[in-house]
């Protein structure tokens, strides 16, 4: 039973990310109880489980907050209905399939007076906020992003990521872009991109982006889903006062080679703490710059066909 200090939450989409992150984070945290689950295939023990989203909206009007963990191609309609029903809404990344959808949801939430939280989980990694603080006031000379992982290891059997609207390598790559836009002030500009599409897929397996900061500092990013062996999630920022490196997806922060910050993964625990804070203060947090950078990469990108990807 939810206590007065805790918030009853519905969770839509009981897949891998929900089981790995959302469910344990809520169970271990101080703010939310998952009292309802909506999924065609998954269930949560102890929750009121629905297979129909519309049935849930009709029967559980007592729930006022929902976490959407579905693939982005169906999230717009689900979020739109939730907002119309008066729910405060948390959206797993990427928050929508297009910029138009994302901005429409932001406007709808504002008009309805509900909270909209577009999460970027990598922004909540241990080293990201300390990195932003260290960079504040410094001159940024260059940024290099290397984000390479094995798609077979991290996204097994997830065919939707290869379809139109599935993002391909930008599904993990947008995590790097979310960190970049959190620690570098102003708007980041995509100048050109090179996108590698397997001959049997609709989304890229690798991408190279040439960007620049609002102040003109060059920013280069390499994304690849074909990495074997050790996985690489690094962001290196050269400044007038030293070299900053975020490693392991932002979990570790180094300044001039010296480890400054490390610790256990608390990204999703911090996401839910932030959602509770937003609900209680009745404020939204809906930044779509990482999504815009992905869209700009497709707009400016040269398409290259590479060998077929067979899982």
Q: What is the DSSP letter of 256?
A: T
pLDDT digits (tens, 9 = 90+) for 243-256: 999 999 999 999 99
Residue 71, pLDDT > 90, answer no
Identify whether 142 is a catalytic site residue.
no
Residue 17 counted as domain residue: yes
H-helix or E-strand containing 192?
A: strand 189-198
Is residue 12 located within the same domain as residue 72? yes
Calculate the average pLDDT of the chain. 95
pLDDT at 296 over 60: yes
- CA-CA distance, 191 to 68, in Å (whole number)? 33
Inside any domain, residue 311: no
> Structural domain tally of the chain?
2
Of the residues 16, 81, 93, 212, only one is catalytic, namely: 93
| Whether residue 185 sits in one domain with residue 39 | no
pTM of the model: 0.93
CB half-sphere exposure, 271, CA atoms < 13 A: 25
User: Residues 211, 221: contact at Cβ < 8 Å?
Assistant: yes
How sure is the predictor about 3, in pLDDT bands with cuts at 50, 70 and 90? low
Kindly state whether residue 2 falls inside one of the protein's structural domains: no
290 located within any domain: no
Q: Are 68 and 89 in contact (CB under 8 A)?
A: yes
Model confidence at 1, pLDDT cuts 50, 70, 90, reads very low
CATH number at residue 33: 3.40.50.720
Cβ–Cβ < 8 Å for 82, 109: no
Burial class (CB in 10 A: 0-12, 13-18, 19+), 26: buried
Within its chain, how far is the Cα of 227 from the centroid?
21
CATH number at residue 199: 3.30.360.10
Q: Establish if 45 belongs to a structural domain.
A: yes
Q: From CA 158, how far away is CA 16, in angstroms rounded?
A: 10
Judge if 77 and 128 occupy the same domain: no
Each residue of 31-60: pLDDT tens digit?
999 999 999 989 999 999 999 999 999 999
pLDDT tier, 165 (very low <50, low <70, confident <90, very high otherwise): confident
Same domain for 130 and 215, yes or no, is yes
Laid out side by side, the sheet with 258-261 consists of 258-261, 252-255, 242-247, 232-239, 140-148, 218-224, 206-212, 189-198, 301-306
Give domain status of residue 35, yes or no: yes
pLDDT tens digits for range 76-114: 999 999 999 999 999 999 999 999 999 999 999 999 999
Based on the fold, state whether residues 157 and 66 are members of the same structural domain.
no
CA angle at residue 32 from 160 to 76, to 5 degrees? Answer: 35
In a domain, 193, yes or no: yes
Q: What is the pLDDT of residues 111-158, one digit of tens each?
A: 999 999 999 999 999 999 999 999 999 999 999 999 999 999 998 888
Lowest mean pLDDT among 140-144, 179-183, 262-266, 285-289: 262-266
Question: Cα angle at 93 between 284 and 22, to 5 degrees?
Answer: 90
Residue span of the structural domain in which 217 resides: 122-267+295-306
Is the domain of 106 the same as that of 140?
Answer: no
Do 252 and 207 belong together in one domain?
yes
Distance CA 190, CA 295 (A): 10
Query: 2-6, 206-210, 284-288: which has the minimum mean pLDDT?
Result: 2-6
Q: Are residues 246 and 138 in the same domain?
A: yes
Is 203's pLDDT higher than 80?
yes
- Domain membership of residue 184 (yes or no) is yes
pLDDT over 60 (residue 218) = yes
Q: Are residues 165 and 248 in the same domain?
A: yes
Q: pLDDT value at position 236?
A: 98
Give yes or no: residues 148 and 258 share one domain.
yes
Let me know whether 91 and 169 are in one domain: no
Tell whether 41 and 170 lie within a shared domain: no
pLDDT at 202 over 70: yes
């Amino acid at each position: 039973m939810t206590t007065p200090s805790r918030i009853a939450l519905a969770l839509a989409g009981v897949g891998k990310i929900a089981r790995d992150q959302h469910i344990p984070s809520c169970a271990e945290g101080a703010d939310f109880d998952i009292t309802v689950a909506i999924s065609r295939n998954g269930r949560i023990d102890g929750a009121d489980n629905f297979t129909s989203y519309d049935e849930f909206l009709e029967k559980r009007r007592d729930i006022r907050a929902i976490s959407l963990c579905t693939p982005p191609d169906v999230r717009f309609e689900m979020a739109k209905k939730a907002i119309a029903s008066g729910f405060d809404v948390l959206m797993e990344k990427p928050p929508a399939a297009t910029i138009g959808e994302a901005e429409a949801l932001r406007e709808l939430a504002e008009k309805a007076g509900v909270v909209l939280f577009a999460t970027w989980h990598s922004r909540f990694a241990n080293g990201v906020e300390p990195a932003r603080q260290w960079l504040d006031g410094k001159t940024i000379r260059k940024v290099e992003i290397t984000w390479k992982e094995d798609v077979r290891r991290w996204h097994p059997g997830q065919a939707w990521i290869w379809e139109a609207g599935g993002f391909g390598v930008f599904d993990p790559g947008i995590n790097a872009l979310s960190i970049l836009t959190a620690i570098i002030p102003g708007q980041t500009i995509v100048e050109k991109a090179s996108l590698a599409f397997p001959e049997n897929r609709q989304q890229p397996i690798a991408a190279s982006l040439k960007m620049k900061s609002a102040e003109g500092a060059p920013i280069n990013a390499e994304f690849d889903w074909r990495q074997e062996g050790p996985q690489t999630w690094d962001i290196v920022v050269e400044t007038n006062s030293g070299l900053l490196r975020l490693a392991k997806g932002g979990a570790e922060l180094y300044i001039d080679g010296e480890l400054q910050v490390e610790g256990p993964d608390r990204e999703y625990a911090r996401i839910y703490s932030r959602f509770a804070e937003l609900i209680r203060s009745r404020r939204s947090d809906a930044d779509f710059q990482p999504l815009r950078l992905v869209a700009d990469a497709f707009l400016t990108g040269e398409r290259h066909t590479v060998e077929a990807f067979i899982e």
